[in-house]
C-alpha cells in the first residue's frame, strides 16, 4: 500500500485486485445506509443494482442471516412479527418494510427473499457494508433483531458481538455463496458512519472488530476483497467539513470522494466513459426552464437524441433516462 503526503491530507492507494464491473453486470448492495449511498450512485450511473431488499441493516448477523435464508429458502417466522400504529413489522427487517396485515407482511418478505436469491445467483459483485458490531437481542427468543421498531428497550439485551463469532458466521455464509454462485465477487466494507450513541470508545471497539473480520475474510477467500471506505473517510479526509450537520454521517462531498474511488478501482476506461456520459445526461435532466419556451423543448429533444445514440453505442436500455426528457 502506497502512502503519500499531500498539502492538506495524507493519501493512500491500496492495491486491490478487483474484477471490473460493466453495465451489463448485475450488482447487489447489502448493509448500512452508507452502502445505499454508493448503491444510489451506481444506479444513477446506469448499473443494474438491487439495494437492501429488507431495508437498511447495520449488524453483520442479520445481513448474513438474510443471505443464508435466501439461499436455503428458509421462511421468516411470524413469531418475529409485531403490530404498531396499524402496521405490521418484522424484527428481521427495517421499518420501511411493513404491511397492513400479518399475511401481507409474510407475502412481502417472501417476495423480497425471492428477489434476493435471484440476485445472489446472478450477481457479478456483491457489496456488503457492515455498520456496527453492537446488536440487540430479543429477550423472548434470544435472537438478534434487525430493527427494534421503537419498542420498549427493556425487552431487548444489547451486546457487542465477538470477533470470532462474526468471523465464523461470515466464513460459513461466504462458502454457501460460492456454492450458489462460484464466480461471484464479494466486496466487504465497513461504514464510516460513527455510531456515537453507543459511545465513542464503544463505537471504536465495534469498528475494530468489523475491520478485523473483513481483512481475515479477504485473506481466506480468493474472491473476497476489502474496500477501505472507512479508512478513506476517517484517515484520509479526517475533517469535519466532510460530515453532515450531525457530525456523524459523511456528507455529499465525502460520498462523491468514495464514488470516485469506486470509479477508479472497479471500472475500466470504457466503463468510466459511459458513466461520465450518463451522469452528464442525468445532470441535464435536472435543468428546469424559467418558463415554457421553444428553446427548452429543443433542448429536451436534443438530450433525448443523445440518450438514443448512447443506447446504440453501448447496447444499454436507457428508457429510464430518456423518459426524463419527454415534456
Cα 126 from Cα 94, distance rounded (Å): 20
Q: What is the arithmetic mean of pLDDT over 282-287?
A: 81
Residue 190 has a pLDDT of 97
Q: What is the arithmetic mean of pLDDT over 196-205?
A: 94
Cα 283 from Cα 163, distance rounded (Å): 43
Q: Which fold has domain 10-267?
A: Rossmann fold (3.40.50)
Residue 101 has a pLDDT of 96
Residue 205 has a pLDDT of 97
Residue 1 has a pLDDT of 58
Instruction: Categorize the per-residue pLDDT at 9 as very low, low, confident or very high, splitting at 50, 70 and 90.
Output: confident
**Averaged pLDDT score across all residues of the chain:** 92
Handedness of CA 212, 215, 221, 225 (dihedral sign): positive
Rounded to 10°, the helix 60-72/102-122 angle is 80
Of 4-8, 87-91, 153-157, 178-182, minimum mean pLDDT range: 4-8
Among residues 170, 153, 162, which one has the least CA distance to residue 134? Answer: 162
Cα 96 from Cα 99, distance rounded (Å): 9
253: Cα separation from own chain's centroid: 18
Cα 270 from Cα 26, distance rounded (Å): 18
Percent share of the chain, pLDDT over 90: 72
Strand-pair partners of 11:
4
Higher-pLDDT residue of 283 and 125 is 125
- In the predicted structure, residue 4 carries a pLDDT above the cut 70: no
Cell, residue 149:
421498531
Cα 128 from Cα 100, distance rounded (Å): 30
Residue 3 has a pLDDT of 53
Residue found under cell 437481542: 137
Percent share of the chain, pLDDT over 70: 95
**What are the structural domain ranges in the chain?**
10-267, 268-327
Question: 3-state class of 31 per DSSP?
Answer: strand
| pTM confidence score | 0.92
CA angle 60, 61, 63 (to 5 degrees): 60
Strand-pair partners of 233:
none
Cell, residue 167:
468471523
Residue 10 has a pLDDT of 81
Q: CB–CB of 31/210 below 8 Å? A: no
Cα 91 from Cα 143, distance rounded (Å): 10
DSSP track, 55-99: ----SHHHHHHHHHHHHHTPPPPGGGEEEETTEEEETTS-TTS-B
- Give, rounded to a whole angstrom, the gap between the first and last alpha carbons of the chain: 51
Q: CB–CB of 234/196 below 8 Å? A: no
74-110: pLDDT as tens digits: 988 888 899 998 899 999 999 999 999 999 999 999 9
Amino acid at each position: 500500500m502506497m502512502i503519500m503526503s499531500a498539502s492538506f491530507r495524507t493519501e493512500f492507494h491500496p492495491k486491490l485486485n478487483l474484477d471490473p464491473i460493466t453495465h451489463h453486470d448485475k450488482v447487489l448492495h447489502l448493509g448500512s445506509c452508507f452502502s445505499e449511498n454508493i448503491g444510489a450512485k451506481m444506479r444513477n450511473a446506469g448499473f443494474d443494482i438491487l439495494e437492501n431488499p429488507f431495508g437498511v441493516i447495520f449488524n453483520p448477523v442479520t445481513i448474513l442471516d438474510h443471505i443464508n435464508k435466501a439461499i436455503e429458502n428458509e421462511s421468516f417466522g411470524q413469531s418475529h412479527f409485531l403490530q404498531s400504529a396499524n402496521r405490521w413489522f418484522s424484527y428481521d427487517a427495517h421499518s420501511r418494510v411493513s404491511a397492513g396485515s400479518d399475511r401481507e407482511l409474510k407475502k412481502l418478505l417472501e417476495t423480497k427473499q425471492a428477489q434476493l436469491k435471484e440476485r445472489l445467483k446472478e450477481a457479478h459483485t456483491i457489496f456488503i457494508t457492515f455498520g456496527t458490531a453492537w446488536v440487540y437481542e430479543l429477550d423472548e427468543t434470544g435472537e438478534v433483531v434487525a430493527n427494534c421498531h421503537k419498542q420498549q428497550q427493556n425487552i431487548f439485551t444489547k451486546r457487542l458481538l465477538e470477533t470470532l463469532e462474526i468471523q465464523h458466521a461470515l466464513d460459513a455464509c461466504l462458502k454457501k455463496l460460492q456454492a450458489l454462485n462460484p464466480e461471484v465477487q464479494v466486496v466487504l466494507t465497513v461504514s464510516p458512519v460513527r455510531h456515537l450513541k453507543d459511545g465513542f470508545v464503544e463505537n471504536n471497539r465495534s469498528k475494530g472488530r468489523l475491520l478485523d473480520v473483513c481483512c481475515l475474510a479477504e485473506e481466506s477467500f480468493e474472491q473476497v476483497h476489502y474496500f477501505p471506505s472507512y479508512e478513506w473517510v476517517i484517515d484520509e479526509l479526517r475533517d469535519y467539513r466532510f460530515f453532515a450537520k450531525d457530525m456523524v454521517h459523511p456528507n455529499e462531498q465525502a460520498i462523491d470522494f468514495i464514488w470516485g474511488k469506486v470509479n477508479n478501482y472497479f471500472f475500466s476506461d470504457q466503463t468510466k466513459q459511459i458513466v461520465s456520459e450518463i451522469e452528464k445526461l442525468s445532470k441535464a435532466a435536472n435543468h428546469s426552464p424559467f418558463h415554457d419556451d421553444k428553446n427548452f423543448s429543443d433542448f429536451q429533444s436534443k438530450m433525448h437524441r443523445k440518450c438514443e445514440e448512447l443506447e446504440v453505442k453501448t447496447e444499454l436500455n436507457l428508457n429510464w433516462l430518456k423518459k426524463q426528457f419527454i415534456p
